[in-house]
Structures are given as C-alpha cells and as structure tokens.
Structure 1
Amino acid sequence: MRPQISRLPANTAKGLAGSQIDRTRPIEFRIQGRMVSAFEGDTVLTALLASGIDTIGTHHGQPIGLCHGAAPAIAYAGAAATPELALPMDRVPARGGADYVFVAPGKKSGLITRLFQGGRTLGLTLDDHNRSLAGPWRSLVGRTEPGVDVLVIGGGVAGMSAALTAARAGLSVTLVEASPMLGGHSGLFGTQDGDATPEDHVTLLVTEIKSHAAITVRTHSEAFAIVPGLVRVHQIDISGGLVTGKVLDLPARYIILATGSIERLPVIPGNRRPGVIGAQEAYELAQRYGIWSGHSVMVATSANPAYRLATLLAETGIALDRITDGRDQASSRYIEFSKAYGFRLFPGTVPKSIATADGQLAIDLAHGDAVRVDRLILSGGWQPDLTLWHMAGGQSRWNANAERLEPIGTLDTIALAGAAAGYLTRQGCVTSGVAAINHLLGRAGPGVDDPVISALYETPDRQMCALEAPDANPAYLDAEASLVVRPTPQPQHWLSKITDRQGSTSGLLAESPQPLSISAISSGVALGLIPPESAGVVAQERVALIPLSHQDAADISAPSETKSVPDYLQGRFGADAIVVQLDQPEARRTDSGALIFLDHDTTNPQRAVGIVLRMRSEKIEALLAAAHAQPGVRLVVRDLGQAFPAEVKA
C-alpha cells in the first residue's frame, strides 16, 4: 500500500481517527494514470487528500488547493467525453481497481511537466469561466421519478426533523443529502448545557429515519436546480459494482430547504493556496476520514467554532503556532478553553497575505510577524446557503448587524429550515424543521426555540478581509468552483479623480457579468464591492441558475385526508393493533409519529409498542399493539428526544 502521508493514526484522540473508513480494508485505484491508495469508506477526493495530493493545478500561475468545493469531475477511463458518465470525486466512493480520468476541459500539463511536477498536484491549468470545475451533468435533463408529498433537501438535524415531522403526519417523504451519510455539520459546534452530544443526537435521528417506512433517503445526491413542485438532483448509484451517476427530477407538493450554511472564506491574498482550509472542512476530513495535512498549523478566524477545532487538536501531536482573531475582544467558552490549553491568542489580528516558501505556508501578519506552518485554518464565520432558495424565487436582504444575507418573505410550497433559515443552535435547527412542516401544512405549532447565548458571552462571527487589495497574489471571494478573484479598481481618468475624490468602488462587483455564489456576494458586500441594499437583488439575479421551467414540475395532487391508520403503519405493531386514546398526567401537545414504549429506558424504535397518530381535543390518539392496549396500561411517549408518561384511557 502506498504511503498516505496525510492520514492520522488509528489511535488519534478526540474522535479524529476517521469514523467512515475501514482501515482493515485497504484498496488501490488509478486516476489519470497515477496509483492511489485508500481505505474502504474513502471517497476519491479523500483518498487523494490522504495521499498528500492537495493541489488541483494553477489559475493564472497561482496554485489552487484541492477541496470539497472545488474538485474536477472524473469518469472511468474511456468515458470522459460523455457528460452522462461524469462523476464528482467528492461524492464517489473509492473503488479498488477503478481507473479514472479527468473530465475537465481545462488544459492538462504536458508529459514532461507531469513527469517532473511535485506529487501534490493534479496538474490542471484552470480557466476563468468555471468550465474546468463545473459538473457536466448540470446541463442534462432529469429522469422524472414518482412524486411524493414532501421533499426535504439536506440531511442535517433540521432536515431529519422536518422529514420525521412530515412522515408522522402520514405524508410520503424523500430526504436528499449530498454527502455519503446523514448528520450534517453540527459536530464542530459542540453542545450547550443540557444538550446531548451532536454525535448522540444525530445517531438517534438517523436511527428513527431509517426505521420509518414513509421516508425514502437518497444520499450521494446533490440538488442543483429547483422550481416549485420539482427538484433536479444528481445522484450517485453505488448499488452495483460500477459506480454511476444519474440526473433525476423529483416532483413534490412541498419542499423543505434545509441546506445549512456555508463557511465564509476570509478574503486574504493567497487564500486558495494548498494547505489553506476552512475550519468546518478540516474538522470533517479528520473526524470522518482521519485526514490532516502537515504537522504544524495556525488558525486565523473571526468565528468561535475554530477555537473548538484548536482544542480538539491539542492531543493529536499537531503543533498549533497561534490563533489570530479578526475581532478585537471576542468572548466564548471555546476561547477560554483555548487559554486553558496555553495557546497563543492574538485578538484584533488579520493576516495580510499568504504565500508559499520551502514547502510551507508563509503567512504575513498585520503587525509585522511572519509565520511558517504546514497548514492554515481560515474561518470567516457562516453565511446561510440560500442558493436554492433564490433559484426557487425566494428573496433575501443584507443584515448589517449579522453581516450576512438572510431570507425574507415566504413561498407557497417551499420553506426554509435550520441554518439556511438563519437559526444558530442545534435546538433551533431541530424545532425549525418541525415548524417548517407545520407552516406548509397550515397547522398550528409551538414555533422555533433557538436559545442563542448572549453576545456578551458568545461573540457573533464576523466577516474577515485583508485591508489591502491583492496584486500578484490574488484573493478569492469564496472557496467554491467559481474562482472569482477580488477585483482591483481600475486607474481613474483625471476628470474622474476631480469629480470623485474618494475613488469609490461601490458596485464594482455588482456590475460585473459573471455568476456569483452566495459566499462571493457576502464577501463582495463586506469589501464594499456590492452595495448592501443591492445584495438581495444581486443574489437573486446572479446565483448559478440552471434552466428548469415551471412546466417541468409534475402536477402533484394534494395529500389525501389522513386515514385513521396510514398504509405504511399497517401491521407495524401486529395485525391486531388497535387505535386507542391516551391520558397524560400533564397536558401537552405531541407530534404525530412519536413512538410509544413500555418504559423510560427503551429508545430502540424496533422495540416500540405503538405510535401517536394525531391529537384530538388535547387527547392523544395512538396505534398500539393489542397486548398493551388495555385500559390503565402505563406507557412512555418519546417525542424529539423527550420522554413523558401516558396511560391507556378507560
């Protein structure tokens, strides 16, 4: 097996050894003629990163790092010219014996260059029009699948909560998630007092999702176009020996967008160099795949979760040089933890530029220091991912206090949930999933409970940008495939200098013709390149729209009136299960689909003895196994992680 120089040891502490890989099952495959080693559970992308290949190629002579948001499409050798057979390396499981080639039209390096280039690069020369990193499948028409009542996009805690709420209401549900597994990105953010750990909470939700017959889960499936009533996805099919991709049109009466948030890339010259990575991606590569590049690291942030990542690294043997923070006097429990670990903290400090020297990153700090490390964690806070929301016709506006685009208004059959809707806590994301379904169904509900810690104790995240515009060392506006560079003001005519002494660049990016990501628009506002009052309009007009007409949407009839017992529950608790009413010692409203157990200690859905069907006049109507349906039998109802007593009504 070839060396995997960026793979952490199997005994790495703090859960950073790679939960998704099986180290007992090594495999090898080829990509562009190069042999790469991996483990079962790796994707093609993570196998490359583990092997130390961290560079796509160059853009205007500058090296560009290989990452989740920017990786060339691949295909099996001999199939690169067929868009239908193109595959995204970040979603394709690594398969032993496979032979892959690049699909990207970007110029490949010549033979001599490939023979002598460093082992870190894939050797592509990237263009300015996003063709080199674009997915060819985005131009394809989808195959229409059978319609469902509710389609949920995003398999994090908000999406899973929405899917369960809809299924409990007797509706058919499809849950779409781009990554290979459900769970989302809550792991990096830790817990608040009284919360279960993110891992335990996700495990409970995933277990219930998988046990629910009304929910169809589509992982490895990226939603990339939407109109009311229809979502187009690219799905990786791993059911056979050969991994294939297919474009599907998924009709649905209602759509929930639980698309999460995007970690903003601080706009600093050199911010797309190999070795520069966001806190969220760095955490997930380590936690899921045991990947970490280099032995020394610096953290530059304006968001608190990056401090948590630093504390997790404390017992891994990775040397943390320092943590700089673009905020002057930030507060957080994670900052206090970092102080306790003895980390060197530099508040009010933003890197000026990032270069490469002798195989390391050379980081120039604003106060004159120069730092040499193998890796730089850059975190500029989070922006709700409103891409599909805007594609569907939703609106947004700039929140100057939070320094982000936020959704406004509503759509008739589409609702946002979780971080995409602007909620900040795990509890807020979970309850927003419930509220989104209730809103679309016209049902009353308790609303969203988002217990945000006071800014006095947890300073909100902020944008982070270098003050000076780049010259030869470009600064990119996002970490995605668009490769949009921070523009520099053009020299003004002498008359302009007289009439506009300030040399304003406001609107410079807003008036440029290229498509922009939500992250790039957010960065553009922070830099003064997009007027804040125009940000929402620019976002509506400039997100990467995919042609998809409203006529493509199938006519999905409204869900029928809820039956006494939905079809998918027939036989679930025995052929003789009966509908009963339950009394509660304390009156409370319970969602349809909450499971019923014999005691407080049982949580396994397979051991449930019944299920809540609906509330009628503040009474629980439930389907119970006949053996436990006699009047007076005491039971326990579990709803969204909480348990409370109930009794079969006489």
Structure 2
Amino acid sequence: MSLRLDTGGRFIDRATPVRFTFNGQPHEGFAGDTLASALMGAGRLMVGRSFKYHRPRGVVASGVEEPNALFALGAGGRHEPNQRATTTDLAAGMQIRSQNHWPGLGFDIGALNARLARFLPAGFYYKTFLSPPAFWKHVYEPLIRQSAGLGRAPQAADPDGYEHFHIHVDVLIAGGGVAGIQAALLAGEAGARVLMMEQTAHWGGRAPVDSVTVAGQPAQDWLRAALARLDAMKNVTLRTRCGVVGVYDHGYVLADEQPPPPGPRHRLWKIRARQVIAATGALERPLAFPGNDVPGVLLASAVRDYVVNWAVAPGRRTVIVTNNDDAYRTAIALVEAGLEVPAILDARGQANGPLPERARALGLRVETGKGIGKVRGKTRVTGAGLCNQRGSGLVTEVIPCDAVAMSGGWSPVVHLWSHCGGKLIWDETQAHFRPDPALGPVSHDGVAFVHCAGAAAGALQAGPCQTTAGQAAGAVLKLLGCKAGAPDHATAEAEAPLAPVWVMPQRAGPALRAKMWLDFQNDVKVSDVQLAAREGYESVEHTKRYTTLGMATDQGKLSNINGLAVLAESLGAGIPQVGTTTFRPPYTPVPLGAIAGQARGKTFQPLRRTPMQDWHEAEGARFEPVGQWRRPYAYPKGESLAQAVRREVRNTRENVGLLDASTLGKLLVKGPDAGRFLDLLYTNMMSSLKVGRCRYGLMCNENGFLMEDGVVARLGEDSFLCHTTSGGAEHIHQHMEEWLQTEWWDMRVYVANLTEQYAQIAVVGPKARQLLERLGGMDVSPERVPFMGWAEGVLATIPARVFRISFSGELSFEVAVPAKRGMAFWQACLEAGADLGIAPYGTEALHVMRAEKGFIMIGDETDGTVTPQDLGLDWAVSKKKDDFIGKRGQARLHLSGPDRWRLVGLETTDGSVLPEGAYALAPGRNANGQRNVQGRVTSTYHSPTLGRGIAMGLVRRGPERMGEVLEFSSLDGPPVPARIVSPVFYDPDGEKQNV
C-alpha cells in the first residue's frame, strides 16, 4: 500500500490541500503534487492497464519516461488522452481517468488476452495477413482496429488558446540541472545571449535529491545563488515547464512550454540558436526479471524522487535490486524517511564502494550476486523471491515487501544530439551509448552547433559532470568568439562500475523469460525479442517494429538499451555491433493545438482581402474561393448569375470592363543570376527577355507535367517580376526557394513575394486605352506600351506600372499600383469611364472570355498529368536550352507518344453546352464493364459572344481529328454529340488585342 509520509516533501505545500477525482472517486493531494505523487499519496498504486495483455500497471518512473500512468484528463473540449501523470501538475477539481480497460480498471474483460498470450506472440498481427483475405477482412481487421490505441480523441472543440513565440539567441541550453546552470553561468557572464529551458517546474535536476555538493555548498543553496546570478543578467532568459523537443538543421529548435494560468495552454517556441548545449541528463534503466511489471515495482531513482520531493512512497517495505551503486542512494533515502528496506539485492559479485558501505553502516542487509526470481502479487507487490543471479531462477527465499526499487544503470538522454545526425559510441564501462564528440551535428559550413554537457555527455558522476559542462560551454564560447571561465566543482559519493546485467537470473529458461517485461506499455517481453531474432529480424530497427519495442509514447526512453542487449545476446553479437534505433523529434509529444497555435477557426487559413474587397461586397458580388482569396464570381443586378455573367462578357467585349486582379501572384526575382535561374525554372528562355518587355512562360515539375503558367516582365538587367495564378503564389515561391536552397544554392538570386504589396486592376475592352488616357499622367499609346510590353509612370496622380497583357483577347492593360492606393485607382477608373459603359466583371466572365480565345487555365486544362505539348504549347518549350525542370521527364516515351490526349475545341452539333467533365466515349468496354473513353471535357461554357456553347477538351490524337464528331457522356440522358474544332473560337488572328 503506497502512503504519504508525515514529514518532508520539498515540492508540496501541506497547507494547501487539492481535491480531484480519479475514475469518478474523490481524492486529495497537496499543491505541488503531480498526478502520480497525489495518487500514490492517496493509496492508489494500480493506475492503468497495459496495451496488449491489459495487465495491471502502476507508476514506474517520475518523469517523461513514464510508460504506464497515462491518463485522460478533463472533459468536453478540454479532454486530453495519454497525459503522463508523472509530468502533469495536480490542479483543483481535476477529473482524471485511467485508460485501456472495460468495463473498469479493477475488472477488465481485456485481461483475457493474457490467457491467450501463446496465440498473440510478437508480430502476430503481421502473421494474420497470411490468412485468407476474406478471413482477414471480416475477422482480424475489425478486432485489431477496435483495440488499437490507448486513449480516445476528444470530440468537442478545444476552447483554450495556444500561441507561437519566435526568438534568436546565441546559446540555447536544454536542461536546467547543475550542468545546464553551470553552462548558462559561463555563457551569460561571457556576454552571450542565453536561453535556458527546463522541462520540469523546478531547477537543479537530480542534484538536490542525490545530496550533491557544489562549490562546497548543498546543491539547493548553490542553486538559489546561481539562479539569482542568472536572473540579474539581462542577456539570459530562463524558462521552466518548457521542454526542448526537437533540434533541426541550421540551429532551428522547437520547445513546448506549458505556462501557468492565465497564459495559453501551450506555447510553441521556435528558436534560432547559433549554438545548442544539451544538458538533458540521463534516464535510469529498469531490470528484466519475472514479475517486474507488477504495480509497486518502480525505478530506484523514482522511489527516491517521490520520497524526497513529494513525501510519498510506494510502500513501507521496499526491496532494492540493482547492478550499480546508485540504487543504494534510494535505500539510504528510504531509511532516513523512516521506511524499511529489508534487503538490497546486488547482481554484482561484490559491492564495496562508499554508498554500499554507508548502507551497511545503517544496518541494511546487502546480498551480492543475487537477483529476483519472482515478484509476488497481482495488482500490487506482496513479496520478492530472492535467487542467485548466475543461476536458473530457483527462489531460495521470499522476502515480504510491498514495493521493489530496481536499477539497471543509467542511459544519457542523447535524443537532441541525435536529431541532427549526431553519432553515438558505446561506453563499455558504464554500459550505455553516449555522444561521440568527433561526430556531432554540424551546420552547412561544417561548424559544430550541438554540444552535450553533464550526464547527457556520459559524465554520470558529479565531478566529471561539471567538467563536461565547462568543456561544452568553452567550445560554444570559442565558436562565438568569447572566453569561458571555470565552472564551480560538484561532488558526490564515488560509484563503483556497474555490472552489465539486463536479465535476472542470468540462466533463466524460456518460461521465466516469458514473464520478464522490457516494454511495460506495449507488453514486450524478453522472449518476444528472442523470438524476433530466431525469425530472422537481425536489424534493431526491424526488431523494434516487429515487436513494438520502444514504440508509442515510450520511444525507447525506458526500454531501448535492455532490448538491444537481449537482441545482441540472441544474435551472439555485441551491443555496438547491433547498434541502436534512430531517435527522431519530438523528444516528448507536442499537442496538435500547440503545433497549430492561433491557426484555428477563422484564423486556420485567414481569408486574404484585396484593397477593393469592401467595394465588391457593397456591390453585391457573389464570391468564389481561390486559395485563401475570395474573388468576385459575378455582380448580379437583379438577375440570375448566368445572366450577370453574359452581361459582363458582352459589356467587356463592347465597352470597357474592370477586373480586380490583385490576387495574381507577383514574385520578384532579383540578382546577378536571376536570368539563368528563370531559364531553369521555365520551359522557355527568360534571360533573353529585354527590359520593358513581357513573356508568357510555363513551369513544369520534375516529371515534365505542367504546374504553373504566367507572364514574366523584365524590370531591369537583374530583376524580373513573375506573375502566377491566384492560388499559386505561395506554392511557386516555395518551389523557387526549394531549388535555390537545395540544388542551386550557389546562385546569386533573391526571391520576394510581393503579391500583397500591389493592387492590380485589369482595364479591358475596346475603350480601355481611352479610359486610361482620361486618367492622365502617362502615355499609353501602342508605341509607348506595345502588346507584351510594360511602362512605368503616373495615372490619376497615382504611381503605376502598366502591363500590356491580355487574358480576354481584348485590348487590355493590367495596372499595378501600391496596395494602399488600389481603391482610389479603382474609383478613379469608374468615375472616368462612367460614359464609356464601364462595369466590373468577375472570374466567370474572365473564364468565358479566355475560353473563347482558347487560353488554358491551370487546374482546368491541367490535372498533374498534362504536358505543355498536350496543350499545343510546344512553342513555349525551348528547343535550344540545355536544361530546365521537366525536360528529361518530357523526353520519356509515354509523354511523347502519338496517342496522348491533346487539347482541342469542341462544339455540340445543336449549339448546346457540353456537360462539365464529360468523357468522350470510345467503342468497347473495359474489364469492369465500363465504356472505354478517348478524352474528356476540361472547360465548357455558353459563349455570349458567339451565342452558343463552346468547350475545350483533351482528346486522343485530337489535333489530327479536326471535324470528327464524338459522343460525350451525360449523367441523365443520352450521349451528346460534339465536333472537334480549333480551340480558338474568337478573333483567331488577335486583331482585337493588338491595337
């Protein structure tokens, strides 16, 4: 029975009781408790069920490595599954529930799985795939899907807030133990900008618990003084409850903070650090022995933490089992707290260091060469069976107890070091992997930017810990051009080397090894890893996935080394030869809310507004979504949408129309290599474009398929303005940056997205030039602004850049003005053109007019499988250039074959409008009984200009079949006949636009 001690507990405030419920039952803890310590203090030892066999589970650890005590917190929108009880602070009114059981924690139907263990070996779910498909589909799959997962996702909306915070620092220190604080002092006093983050609510790490002395003072006193020094430094920022979860290339780091109320629920830190010091400490390893998963079996360090920090213990009588000296600290702490330690079972042949001798001096029984052959109890420990470590597991004595504290040694927390490719070496003396200083993460220029300090570097003793802190800080400051001082010295009792013991007893047979647990959460046993080895899984990565060892929330924190050791033994190899799994970010889970930050609801993808948006709304425009924009579809005036579109087309063809084209992407590409860069991006030549001229260009992906089109204007010798589709600006900007940063990083090119810096208004129609001339300020004659040319000047007293380009086939000017003057220019156009029949038109009229001219639309005529050649745009694909993105893809036989579907125009024989998306039917049927097809409609409209339906489509060998009539599918009627014609329906010679 766990219990609350009458004295002690440096983190709790006994004057402030805190009430909460666990599975609906009321309990009480103290302010400063974690959920784990509060439940332990309330007498709750069994807190959950394991994933696979639903075995009873209790708290094992006291930190982020806890695999068992994962709770569902809160209700409604604040429901959070799989929250670690060991790292969650107790709060008044908390509602917590255990997981993975039905109907209750005490009686769980799922526990029947344990009786079926022989039928559920490692990898059993993979083996079910070998069954007949029907049996898998109707029997295995539903059962496995039903049992997958531990917690349940919340169903209601989350009412809490989350935010992101960006910061640049010289030095980021992850970990607020003695080593991290030492490094912060050295870096801060040298003048560097320092950010130190600690994942718990308290500074100092294990030093105060383990009675470490620093600079001749107790650790707690030294901490108080050191933190005061750091607080006084304006160049140092300290954060608790903030865990560094990922280190990425170029010093980019993510950290997840849980600030106290009334702050956001989580704050995601996005950090750029010139140097990173990982002072993340080490995690204690468990030992594998029969029954090591019974509630009441904890890590020795966790027992020590609960007694010293929260004044709770898992039991009154605790047996210690270990292969190293550190566990003796737990025995001493228990005795000093007034608790019993009936025996210390040490697997080593002798234990004569200062700590074992101190334990003997307290009258404790120390048994060397011994282990545990059996833990008695089901839902809590009732006894420990003593056996010879080198034996077969015969229990020679049963020691009555209600808790077992185990210690299998310590493993440095190397995750942050490994995130950016830092390599590890095996330390034979301490039996762990530690960072290899010669093979650490480096930036693109070869400079090391991640350094480990303290236990994270493999220095588990207090003295060497400070040495590594000084070395890490010294290396960092040297790279920053600063000089480091000397750290304060820390001391603790010396420890003798551990014995590399992973399994107890050493010569246990298969029956015993089937009861030894490596991964407590996923129910992976020693026998499971041995089975994986027998079945040919020699790679540690394959074994991990086959057995689920170290997967889910554990990620190898608790089970990794023991599993590697068992696998190595099974393969007859050494642990260094077997290697270790890959540590990837995040180190601890990051809530989806923290990742999203404020990007939720209306701000998930904020709507972008042009300077004329309010005017469009006031005029009753109907809108359509185009990426993050909402563009006017049409401006109905007491008429149907179809009638409004026809009116807008006719007015633009006959008078003058205004289109808000501000949404078009505008990317500035500038630099000495800008022309060469664009030659590689576009299919045609851009470097030969003259200043003051424009050119239509196509972009393809690596496979040769068309992904974007737009007009490029040359602004100067080293400056180009690339126009993109409304939904393509961000994508194309990202595309350019990706190639610049990953392939052509030596090019001297800069790309800036200027889309929202300018309002762009298309003035279109036969009276367009007359309108601009009325505005006054610049010459817009054909000589000054020829077709596919541009000029800069002033219109209506507003600075303007005028592009003579057309997407309608009419005389057209696209006028770009500063965004803040966009509405003024729009209004000036409306006033000056009142007697010219000026009227705005929307995107549907735009689409109709471009289709009348046979102009393609990205997303309509393209679907990711269409090449420029398919669309008759061979003229825009250079035959002279050595290379461009997609050139090799287009050379593949299946992209240049004669049977490709190619662009044509389509006219129904009766003048009606072809159904949108209709397929051109072909003789015969396929294997599924469906009609064969030979093309499809890509765009279809009623043309007000021509008075009949027009369409564009892709048809097999289309251009070779002019005049042929095909049948097109109809959803609710007979096939519709349509004739293949030229895709240019209106003004084929371009006389309307070239005036």
- Tell me the C-alpha RMSD between the 2 structures: 4.2
1:110 to 103, 118, 123: 103
2:276–2:449 Cα contact (<8 Å) kept:
yes
Partner residue, 1:266: 287
**Match for residue 406 of structure 2?**
378
Cα pair 1:65 1:274 within 8 Å, conserved: yes
What is the TM-score normalised by the length of structure 2?
0.47
CA contact (8 A) 1:92 1:236 kept: no
Partners of 1:435 and 1:445 within 8 A in 2: no
Give the C-alpha shift of residue 322 in structure 1: 0.7
Matched residues in 2 for 1:524 and 1:508: separation?
12
Q: Which whole-Å deviations, capped at 9, do the CAs of 1:185-244 have from their partners, x for residues lacking one?
A: 12454447984333333333233233333222221122222214222222212132x882
Query: In 2, Cα distance between the equivalents of 1:98 and 1:395?
Result: 43
SS at match of 2:312: coil
Contact 1:142 1:232 in 2 (8 A): no
| Aligned counterparts of 1:340 and 1:158: Cα–Cα separation in 2 | 31
Tell me the amino acid that sits aligned with residue 366 of structure 1.
C
Distance 1:259 1:134 in 2: 31
Aligned to 2:55: 62
2:580 to 532, 538, 541: 538
**Cross-structure match for 1:143:** 164
CA shift for structure 1 position 379:
0.8
Give the letter aligned to residue 431 of structure 2. E
CA-to-aligned-CA distance 1:53-77 (integer Å, 9 cap, x gap): 2223222142221243133254322
Distance 2:145 2:486 in 1: 47
In structure 2, C-alpha distance between the alignment counterparts of 1:459 and 1:115, rounded to whole Å: 43
Task: Find the residue that maps to 2:350 and give its secondary structure.
Answer: coil
Q: Measure the CA separation in 1 of the matches of 2:323 and 2:146.
A: 29
Q: Deviations over 1:586-631 (max 9, x none)?
A: xxxxxxxxxxxxxxxxxxxxxxxxxxxxxxxxxxxxxxxxxxxxxx
Of 20, 30, 37, 2:11 maps to: 20
- Look up the SS of the partner of 1:53 in the other structure: coil
Residue 153 of structure 1 is matched in structure 2 by 174
Q: Deviations over 1:434-458 (max 9, x none)?
A: 3212212326668999999999x83
The answer (yes or no) to whether the contact 1:350–1:465 under 8 Å persists in 2 is no
Residues 265-320 of structure 1: per-residue CA shift (max 9 Å, x gap): 11222222211111211111111111112211111111212212212322433221
8 Å Cα contact 1:91/1:220 also seen in 2:
no
Q: Which residue among 215, 230, 255 is the counterpart of 2:252?
A: 230
Amino acid in the other structure paired with 1:95: A
8 A Cα contact 1:328 1:348, kept in partner: yes
Partners of 1:97 and 1:275 lie apart in 2 by: 27
User: Larger radius of gyration, structure 1 or 2?
Assistant: 2
Shift of 1:347: 0.4
Q: Which of 25, 38, 41 is the equivalent residue of 1:34?
A: 25
2:430 pairs with 1:430: no
Match of 1:336 in 2: 357
When structure 1 is superposed on structure 2, of 160-169 and 28-37 the one drifting more is 28-37
Q: What's the % identity of the aligned pairs?
A: 23
2:440 corresponds in structure 1 to: 410
Unaligned runs of 5+ residues in structure 1 are 11-16, 118-125, 493-501, 556-650
Is the 1:269–1:470 contact (alpha carbons within 8 Å) kept by the matching residues of 2? Answer: no
Per-residue deviation, residues 550-598 of structure 1 (Å, max 9, x unmatched): x99xx9xxxxxxxxxxxxxxxxxxxxxxxxxxxxxxxxxxxxxxxxxxx
Q: Distance in 2 between matches of 1:484 and 1:429?
A: 34
Question: Partner letter of residue 511 of structure 1?
Answer: H
CA contact under 8 A between 1:157 and 1:205: conserved in structure 2?
Answer: no
Please state if 1:196 is matched with 2:217. Answer: yes
Aligned counterparts of 1:470 and 1:225: Cα–Cα separation in 2: 41
Could you tell me which residue of structure 1 aligns to residue 75 of structure 2?
77
| 3-state SS in 2 of match to 1:458 | coil
CA spacing shift, 1:74–1:518, aligned 2, 3 Å: closer
* Matching of residues 217-616 of structure 1 within 5 Å: 217-228=238-249, 229-240=251-262, 244-356=265-377, 359-367=380-388, 368-408=396-436, 409-411=439-441, 412-442=448-478, 458-460=496-498, 462-466=500-504, 467=506, 468=508, 469=510, 474-477=515-518, 484-488=524-528, 507=538, 509-512=540-543, 513=545, 514=548, 515=551, 516-517=555-556, 519-527=558-566, 528-529=569-570, 531-532=573-574, 534=576, 537-540=579-582
Contact 1:268 1:465 in 2 (8 A): yes
CA contact (8 A) 1:130 1:483 kept: no
Q: CA offset at residue 418 of structure 1?
A: 0.4
Cα distance between partner residues in 1 of 2:200 and 2:588:
21
Aligned partner of 1:97 in structure 2 is 93
In 1, Cα distance between equivalents of 2:148 and 2:474: 40
Are the counterparts in 1 of residues 317 and 339 from structure 2 also a CA contact under 8 Å?
A: yes
Q: What secondary structure sits across from 1:186 in the alignment?
A: coil
Structure 2 distance, partners of 1:462, 1:175, is 34
Letter in 1 for 2:257: Q
| Partner AA of 1:392 in structure 2 | C
Deviation at 1:396, TM superposition (A): 0.5
Is contact 1:275-1:293 (8 Å) kept? yes
Query: Does the 8 Å contact 2:18/2:29 carry over to 1?
Result: yes
CA distance in structure 2 between the aligned counterparts of 1:547 and 1:45, rounded to whole angstroms: 18
Check the 8 A contact 1:432/1:447 in 2, yes or no. no
Which amino acid is the alignment partner of residue 73 of structure 2?
A: A
1:43, 1:90 within 8 Å by CA — same for their partners in 2?
A: yes
Contact 1:303 / 1:462 at 8 angstroms: preserved in 2?
A: no
Residue aligning to 2:38: 47
Over 3 Å counting, the alpha-carbon distance change for 1:26 and 1:449 in structure 2 is: closer
2-structure distance, mates of 1:172, 1:159? 15
Distance in 2 of aligned mates of 1:339 and 1:525: 34
Sort the Cα spacing of 1:52 and 1:197 in 2 relative to 1 into closer, same or farther, 3 A.
Answer: same
Cα separation, partners in 2 of 1:255 and 1:147, compared to 1, 3 Å:
same
Instruction: Indicate if the aligned counterparts of 1:91 and 1:180 stay in contact, CA closer than 8 A.
Output: no
**Equivalent position of 2:786 in the other structure:** none
1:7 equivalent in structure 2: 4
More contact order relative to length (CA 8 Å, sep ≥ 6): 1
Compute the displacement of 1:417 (Å).
Answer: 0.5
Q: Given the superposition, is the C-alpha separation of residues 364 and 510 from structure 1 closer, same or farther in structure 2, using an over 3 Å criterion?
A: farther
**394-403 or 503-512, which deviates more:** 503-512
Q: How many residues align?
A: 516
1:22 and 1:429 mapped to 2: Cα distance? 32
SS at match of 2:29: strand
How far 1:366 sits from its partner (Å)?
1.7
SS in 1 for 2:167: coil
1:325·1:346 contact (CA, 8 Å) conserved in 2? yes
Report the AA paired with residue 539 of structure 1. Answer: T
Displacement of 1:33: 2.3
In 2, Cα distance between equivalents of 1:243 and 1:483: 36
CA contact (8 A) 2:199 2:242 kept: yes
The AA in structure 2 aligned to 1:309 is T
Q: Which residue identity is paired with 2:518?
A: L
Is the deviation greater in 523-532 or in 389-398? 523-532
SS at match of 1:321: coil
CA distance 1:165–1:366, change in 2 (3 Å): same
State the shift of 1:128 in Å: 13
TM-score normalised by structure 1 residue count = 0.69
Going from structure 1 to structure 2, the CA distance change for 1:87 and 1:244 (only over 3 Å counts) comes to: farther
- Tell me the SS of whatever aligns to 1:237: coil
Where is the helix percentage greater, Structure 1 or Structure 2? 2
Cα deviation for residue 359 of structure 1 reads 4.9
Find the residue that maps to 1:213 and give its secondary structure. coil
Counterpart CA distance in 2 for 1:130 and 1:522 is 26
Contact 2:162 2:265 (C-alpha < 8 Å) held by counterparts: no
Contact 2:256-2:267 within 8 A present in 1 as well? yes
CA shift at 1:391, angstroms? 1.7
Contact 2:245 / 2:586 at 8 angstroms: preserved in 1? Answer: no
